[in-house]
Structure 1
């Protein structure tokens, strides 16, 4: 990956930028960590294959995606009740395992030394994982030793965009020139022929003006114009007209940012075609990453994709998934998810608490963060806040949500 993906103008207050890169070569996985602008500060290592395989198997068992013959309901129950992310104690165990087996002690030392003390901003770590490590939640991995701090407590953690995308012809939209334009909100579009409780049914439940999401977007509408232009915030949800033509028309109005909350179909890793990943709009046929790239749809500088494994580009040798399509279309920063997020109804079905809505909290966090000066750092701030709640025993702050968020950035975006 060229440094064009991560560097920007350096000022006296600028913090360090590090790049953590992994590569699968045959049966081995190689890693390197370097400080941008200081090639003498570089560490390389090879991951232990047996330990890596065990750690990744443990991670797979923690996630709410079906394994083998599991149904989606089975996977939800496992992840919420018995998986490694079911309690703070078991979550810390897997965090420590990942931290020990993925990052060498010398690399941890380099990360620790890059901290700027109490000064801000924090150093930024860009991660470029291999296909095997595409679903690792890098922020929560724990540093070995008595301190046991998490990676996200030492640095801000962002994902480097895939190099084949960074070096492709692009026309970045630019946040500076767009920030005052209305945001485009695509919230739980109604997929034709799907009942609300079907696999492609409602993600957010029955629209109501009393929900935290409706109140939030109502406040946003009072402060500024949004797209689509609606009379009431409840009209933003479950739209039956939100098809690809509708989306194309609204993108042509040059919004400041895009927030998509809904269904996505992850490309099958066994097939090897990342561009088959797709968003489900109010269309009979899903809108694939390939469709987005072929049509050259213009995307705003910031995109939030709160959809099933929308950030799965790195699972493929040629990472041309949904994140890539957004960046090729002009986005400079994309916050996506590494795995499927349980709906609020699904979480409450198995969680020991019944009044929590961590899905809504994640949506609100991304929407607010993408209004900040450095949106990726703002997402990290929310993740650190959730981590503190979780470690204090608040089970509503489940890592199934906050750890799933990954922000991809190019062209110096933070």
Structure 2
């Protein structure tokens, strides 16, 4: 069942200027902007509570070195003792955040308009509010924003200034195949920092399950395409394959409806453009056939007692997706993409109408004062809709190890497949909203951590349709 068409639309904008300011404008009737300064002490307390609830490594108190949690310790804390581990703790955090982020008059306005799906809220958060799960905010004692509204993100208005490639309407491309990159194999030089999503014996067969759900639909898409007389070739669908940036460029350039990436994202804090996906790219001697070129810092690793780097892994970053090969004069790099000269990113990796990046904090764009990361790069290169995550996601294995989930429980895989299903339909935002409402109901009724908002409230969808004129 799809969410009903909204009766009203609300624009919410936040800005950090010493303190944090929130503005909101209802677009029905005569638009009037309201601006409030958020109470800094209340906001600091609420955001600190949110940070403690997330599976990001935290500073460890009481240690001689003042160390930081391991990734495993952070996942264990988030799943067993932090706010998102129980409905009561999560409800308390949702109320704390709502009172810190939503001014009283805005909460009252939302409550007064609050029938399910009657309001669409379009948010552009500030860096300080980038990880706030707006859908969970308590409107009153019984209702969350998710219960009464459809929430999406808006990119900064600067995205539309000289946008490199306008989105193609979904109806014109929906018959084309999708490009899936699922848990790509990482080069050896990346494995000291990242591991594949599916590595344990209990995960054997899950890739076959994903493949069985995706590939039959791809065959249907090929039949539809043949019926339409399209000459487009089917895009590749690699599952734990050695996918490189050159192979990805070839798949996207053949023409596709969607790009779905499920793997790892990394970023350098407060460094716009550094957010990157991880494929099987490595650097090497100039001109070497398997040597990749790009703008990210290579991940070098040295043997014990040696300073000689080996197998330097090269992430594929947002700056690559924007600038392509414009920063190199090496014709051998250009030739790898079938070009005689340098190209911009949207020429090498043209993005389809819909993009999903299901990985750890793929939506890091909004955490920087200069909003630029994988979301903005995809939108600039032709995407209309990008779904990704606000924070680190626990793996299926973490749910089994720390939350006593049964062997067949795969909450993170289920989330990824749900996004893939939604992106295939007519209205991905409505489909994901309906699913999240169902997850919230199950969470309230059962308290099973497999339904915890720690997972599904991480999702964000940013919309940037083509503008006319």
TM-score for the superposition, normalised by structure 2: 0.78
Secondary structure of 2:57's partner? Answer: coil
Alignment of 1:235-384 (within 5 A): 236-240=238-242, 242-268=243-269, 272-284=270-282, 285-295=314-324, 296=345, 297-355=349-407, 356-384=409-437
Q: Which of structure 1's runs of 4+ aligned residues deviate more than 6 A? A: none
Residue 450 of structure 2 aligns to a residue in which SS? Answer: coil
Contact 1:100–1:143 (CA under 8 A) maintained in structure 2: no
CA–CA separation in structure 1 for the residues paired with 2:5 and 2:362: 34
Rg bigger for which structure? 2
Q: CA deviation at 1:37?
A: 5.0
Give the corresponding residue for 2:48.
57
1:163 alignment partner in structure 2: 157
User: d(CA) in 2 for partners of 1:301 and 1:228?
Assistant: 15
Residue 18 (1) aligns with residue 15 (2): no
Structure 2 SS opposite 1:366: helix
**Residue 100 of structure 1: CA displacement?**
1.3
The answer to whether the Cα contact below 8 Å between 1:266 and 1:308 also exists between their aligned partners in 2 is no
- Counterparts in 2 of 1:82 and 1:306: CA distance versus 1, 3 Å: same
The whole-number CA distance in structure 2 between the counterparts of 1:142 and 1:51 is 16
Deviations along 1:330-368, one digit per CA (max 9) or x if unpaired, are 001000100111111122110132332111110111001
| Distance in 2, Cα, partners of 1:412 & 1:390 | 37
Normalised TM-score (structure 1)? 0.88
**Distance in 2 separating the partners of 1:221 and 1:194:** 33
Q: Does 1:43 align with 2:34?
A: yes
More moved, 339-348 vs 55-64: 339-348
2 CA distance for matches of 1:98 and 1:195? Answer: 37
With 32-41 and 386-395 compared, the bigger mean Cα shift is at: 32-41
Pairwise CA distance, 1:90:
0.5
Residue pairs, 1:100-249, within 5 angstroms: 100-115=99-114, 117=115, 122-144=118-140, 146=141, 148-170=142-164, 171-193=166-188, 199-205=193-199, 208=205, 212-225=209-222, 228-229=235-236, 236-240=238-242, 242-249=243-250
SS of the equivalent of 1:85 reads: helix
Distance change >3 Å, CA 303–CA 362, structure 1 → 2: same
Q: Superposition RMSD on alpha carbons, in Å?
A: 2.2
Structure 1's 24 and 321: CA in aligned 2 closer, same or farther, altered over 3 A? same
